[in-house]
Amino acid sequence: MDKNAGENDFTLVMIGDAGVGKTALLLRFADDQFLGDYMPTVGVDFRYRKFDVDGKRVKLQIWDTAGQERFRTMTASYYRGAHGVVLVYDITNRESFEHVQGWMKSVDKYGREGVIRMVIGNKCDRESERQVQKENLEVYAENNSVMWIETSAKSSANVNLAFKRMATRLLESQKFRQNRRETKSNRVSLQSPNEDERKRCC
């Protein structure tokens, strides 16, 4: 267990078209429930969950955003504070997949540098209604260097796995940034005596 649990708090924002199952995914992950019928999210809502990843305690605060066009400006304001973005589409709705790139452009515009991204193809339990092949998602993810997975909020397939993968990547990114800061700090410490020597020689 990581003693510095506070260092492992991360904020995620869920984006994507209305009706793709963002709220259903969030409630399945946070509360392990599936209600079937959901009212459209108005503005934003959030849940959080704590769990362990490789011996480290992680707390994910996850913002569920509205997919309707009239809420886009409000949604964009949440990108700036997010460590990770989960972009959801519906595998039975081709149009929702075609809109993925537009959502990604919003992340590019408003998100923080180095934000971790994952694309989720939801409703994989409805295979007979599939309009987006898994290979389409895989190619998109490879071309855009993002994580990807297919899930079902209804059956719970891959839901926990998706967020665990995101948490793992966030921890890796955090460790990389910490190591880079330490390296930079050590470099400055090593250079300082040399600067003092030059001053004494003048």
State the pLDDT at residue 196.
53
112-152: pLDDT as tens digits: 999 999 999 999 999 999 999 999 999 999 999 999 999 99
Written out in words, the top-level CATH class of the domain with range 5-201 is alpha beta
Q: Which two tokens stand for residue 174?
A: 């955090």
Q: What is the pTM of this model?
A: 0.84
Rounded distance between C-alpha atoms, residue 71 and residue 81, angstroms: 17
Is pLDDT at 73 greater than 90 in this prediction?
no
User: Where in the chain are the domains?
Assistant: 5-201
Find out whether 50 and 91 touch, Cβ atoms under 8 Å: no
Interaxial angle between packed helices 159-201 and 22-31, expressed in degrees from 0 to 180 and rounded to the nearest 10: 90
pLDDT digits (tens, 9 = 90+) for 84-113: 999 999 999 999 999 999 999 999 999 999
Residue range 36-47: mean pLDDT, rounded: 71
- Sorting pLDDT into bands at 50, 70 and 90, what band is 1? very low
Q: Beta strands 147-150 and 84-90: pairing type?
A: unpaired
How far apart, in whole angstroms, are the C-alpha atoms of residue 67 and residue 113? 23
Strands 116-122 and 84-90: parallel
Query: HSE of 109 in the Cβ direction (CA atoms, 13 Å)?
Result: 11
